[in-house]
Amino acid sequence: MPATTPLPHSAAHLGWLAAQERQLLTFGRRVVREPSGLAHWLGDDGAPDLNQPSHTFITARMAHVYFLATMRGIPGGALLADRLLTALDTAARDQHHTGWLDRQPDAVSAADLAPEPEPQPDKQTYSHAFVILAAATGTQAGHPVAPRLLEEALQLTVDRFGEHGGPLFADSLSADLATVRPYRGINANMHMVEALLAAADATGEQGWAERASAICDFVIEQAAGNQWRIPEHYTSDWQPELEYNADQPADQFRPYGATVGHAFEWARLLVQAAPAEHRDHYLSAAISLTDQAVADGWARSGHPGFAYTTDWSGQPVIDDRLHWVAAEAIATAATLWQATGDTRYQSWYDAWWDYTATYLIDHTHGSWHHQLDPQNQPSSTIWAGKPDLYHAYQAVLISQLPIRRSIAAAVLAGESSDG
């Protein structure tokens, strides 16, 4: 990664970030669903939404968050992280085949263990990536089960979802993992980059970081050939499908067009993943992605905030403000500010935290509003409630920590330097 400059935060700003960190963790304290230990989907006030099933990616993301909090020395997270990771090792597993289910009922009964009466849903790389991330963070936090879970999740995901002869991962497989579905997507691969970098730090095996970098190389090439707007959707042989879902542009996981928040997220990951011999190339790509995302996404409707998606000329398609887009923008501004020392990233960092504090942070019920309309009023057409803390919590942490390959490693480095 590039040489970095510590962020010159004032004591007051650091205190504000610390308060935000604790408020987020308090909001999520009711996450564990009993008796399974899986995660609840949290509503606007932090109460469990019992109309929602448990999702593996939320269980894993919340385990990751509370392991990070435990590593930060904040009481109250260790038991939650343990329950959630144990659920990933038990209730979240597919009892009929292997791998991890995308979503689960609250408990596994004897009837559930009988031959299934109807086909199960496909398995997703996206969910498996977060299992890897949670296990990697748990390993760095010293959880006794996490290393075994990490090894199992890595082996299965690479063996079954990995594309033969290349670094990329297919998006989904049939429930029995026998059939690869034709759709290919860059979102799942982005989270595999995050997971593989965390696995490299947790295991000390450099090969995981090398695979993450190889995925990044593909994304840099795709973005550079498309005016630094990342194609999100692909055919089975990895040819871009730029008009995918043009007829349903607000799809929750596969929206049409360029996703502004993913440009920021990829930019940050490029800085974290950069091999020593390609640092300048990765940093240059991260800057280009960020500049294009700001030009396309920021305050395009006359109101502050980021558009969710744009078309391929940069015009907003879905102009609602998703909380995670602002969170990733803040994290990227902090990362590029450290990596370059350029004060324009400080200006963006300040402006985007100011926007977040004014509109996104829910000062009444806690956490962040997960969706606002173009006039910055709460909305729920894409995301209902406040399901988890992952994006907001990472934005708060990255704002305070040195750049490392994984956020868990950054926490350890930050705690070491403070001590």
Average pLDDT value for residue range 108-115: 44
From the candidates 262, 323, 369, 370, give the one annotated as an active-site residue.
Answer: 262
* Domains in the chain, CATH or no CATH each: 11-418 (1.50.10.10)
Looking at the DSSP bridge assignments, the partners of residue 89 are none
120 pLDDT band, cuts 50/70/90, is: confident
From the candidates 143, 233, 369, 391, give the one annotated as an active-site residue.
Answer: 391
Looking at the DSSP bridge assignments, the partners of residue 259 are 309
Rounded CA-CA distance 275/347 in Å is: 28
Assess whether 13 carries a catalytic annotation: no
417 pLDDT band, cuts 50/70/90, is: low
Q: Which residues contact 280 (CB under 8 A, 6 or more apart)?
A: 2
Give the chain's length: 419
Rounded CA-CA distance 61/84 in Å is: 9
Average pLDDT value for residue range 395-404: 97
- Type and span of the H or E element at 384: none
pLDDT of residue 112 exceeding 70: no
> Can you point out the beta strands (E) in 265-391?
309-310, 316-318, 321-322, 371-372
Of 61-65, 120-124, 256-260, the range with the lowest mean pLDDT is 120-124
Assess whether 143 carries a catalytic annotation: no
pLDDT of residue 30 exceeding 60: yes
pLDDT of residue 113: 46
| pLDDT tens track for 339-396 | 999 999 999 999 999 999 999 999 999 999 999 999 999 999 998 999 999 999 999 9
